[in-house]
Amino acid sequence: MATVHLARAYGAAGFERWFAVKRIHPHLAKHASVVAMFLDEARIAASLDHPNLAQVFDLGHDRGEYFMGMEYLHGEHLGGVVERQGALPLGIAARIVADAAYGLHHAHEALDAHGRLLSLVHRDVSPQNIFVTYDGQVKVTDFGIVKASHRLRQTDTGGLKGKIGYMSPEQMLGEEVDRRTDVFALGIVLWEITTGRRLFRCDTFAETVLRITCGHVEPPSSIVHAYSPALEDIVLRALSTSRSDRFATAADMACALEEYLGASGAPVGSRDLRSLMHRVFADPLAHKEAILRAGPDAGHAAAWREATAPDVAELVTSALDGVTVVTPPATMHAWPAAARPHGWAGRRVGLAIAVAVAVGLLAALALRVFFPRSDATRPTTAIVRIATDPPIARVTLDGAHRATRTPILIRAAAGARHRLRIERDGFYPIATTFVARADRVELNYALRRR
């Protein structure tokens, strides 16, 4: 949805500051819904001021384009840290997730100008949206699909928002989400960064949905020898299928992690994170800092100019006095396949700020989920979501009783015709058939009272 550029501002008496400029892709800027999402992200993020949240400090409009000024984060996203390091030491992982939880709690508690709770839910907490700076600071980024009570653009109820592998059961079911949805995602992150594996992601969308909603989580101690029982209890509580069994707030989870760190006898702080980052990323850090020190006026000037779109430089310079956009060329680092933790995706290391934008993933998912595919790639299994109004109805599929409480998710053969019967005391039963023509099917029924 957007491109992020590195920029440097100049001021009086030799003042200089690095920051990031984020602008909507030109081909998307004409779509009102995309612009509204971009403005929501800027407005919401700018209202949040916490050391564990990436800061947005300006929103501008020039020549028909919106852009926002953001804090430049000199570091790596957590996914990149785990790919380079492998499973993290338990104390380091607990410190990172606790700090992220503090930032999310601040967002969850945010009020509007009238003192009303904004009811923010990030909905896209993942290793790609948790940033660890080289100085050992942890920042939660990307509020692009946040749920809030006062958005310019409200998302559709039941719509999938977020990365599939980090969704909660209630997100999968299309139910209302709250702050405990982010707690569940933090639990996934903590499980993954301490085991070096993916928790829920499977080869198909249907299998991923079933793994998340079935409520079975493999204990981390079954993978990592000498995994702390206290930390495992925190992980499994955060990953409870029922929201009422999770931590009530992200702050409660952070406090539990702090207690674990204190009881371990070796508290971990930002200095420990800094040491890890400098050791694991010694070469990329040296390369980045050399370019930062040189700037666009030294030997790298040709590369900086070549990598900077002239229209971007003109756009930002005309709107912000004393700003020069300087986007150095990104460098790709390919790590040997054998050195990669199981299931982690490749990453890009470069000087351009690594603010993850999940909209491309969502668009690809929408195409995959809601549009039929060719016979050669059509799935053999579909996940069917059945909802009723009122809820808590009994469901029978192909003559077999499947559930006593709607809404539910069930597996069905794709492309086949299925018999469905829905019953609830005091209401007329519904008997119908359906064909699962995609790997995700939504069925909604209104029951008529007798």
Asked whether 210 and 409 are in contact (CB, 8 A), the reply is yes
Which residue in this structure is represented by tokens 């790298």? 300
| HEC string for 11-49 | CHHHCEEEEEEEEECCCCCCCHHHHHHHHHHHHHHHCCC
Q: What angle in degrees, to the nearest 10, is found between the helix axes of 179-195 and 229-238?
A: 140
Beta bridge partners of 138: 132
Q: Cα(309)–Cα(383) distance, rounded to whole angstroms?
A: 44
Q: Which amino acid is present at 385?
A: R
The four Cα atoms 349, 182, 159, 361 give a dihedral, to 10 degrees, of 10
Asked whether 288 and 277 are in contact (CB, 8 A), the reply is no
**Number of other residues whose CB lies within 10 A of the CB of residue 65:** 17
323: part of which helix (H) or strand (E)?
Answer: strand 323-325
DSSP symbol at 221: G
Q: 120 φ, ψ to 5°?
A: -70, 140
| HEC string for 151-193 | CCCCCCCCCCCCCHHHCCHHHHCCCCCCHHHHHHHHHHHHHHH
Q: Which residue from 421, 410, 422 is spatially nearest to 381, judged by alpha carbons?
A: 410
From 124, 142, 182, 439, active-site residue:
124
Which residue in this structure is represented by tokens 């050399």? 290
Radius of gyration, CA atoms only, the chain: 24
Q: 211 φ, ψ to 5°?
A: -65, -40
State how far the alpha carbon of 316 is from the alpha carbons of 12, 35, 53, 70, 260, in Å: 19, 18, 24, 13, 47
Q: Cα(100)–Cα(169) distance, rounded to whole angstroms?
A: 21
**Torsional sign, CA 35, 7, 327, 163:** negative
Sequence-separated (6 or more) residues with CB below 8 Å from residue 279: none
Active site residue 124: yes
Catalytic residues: 124
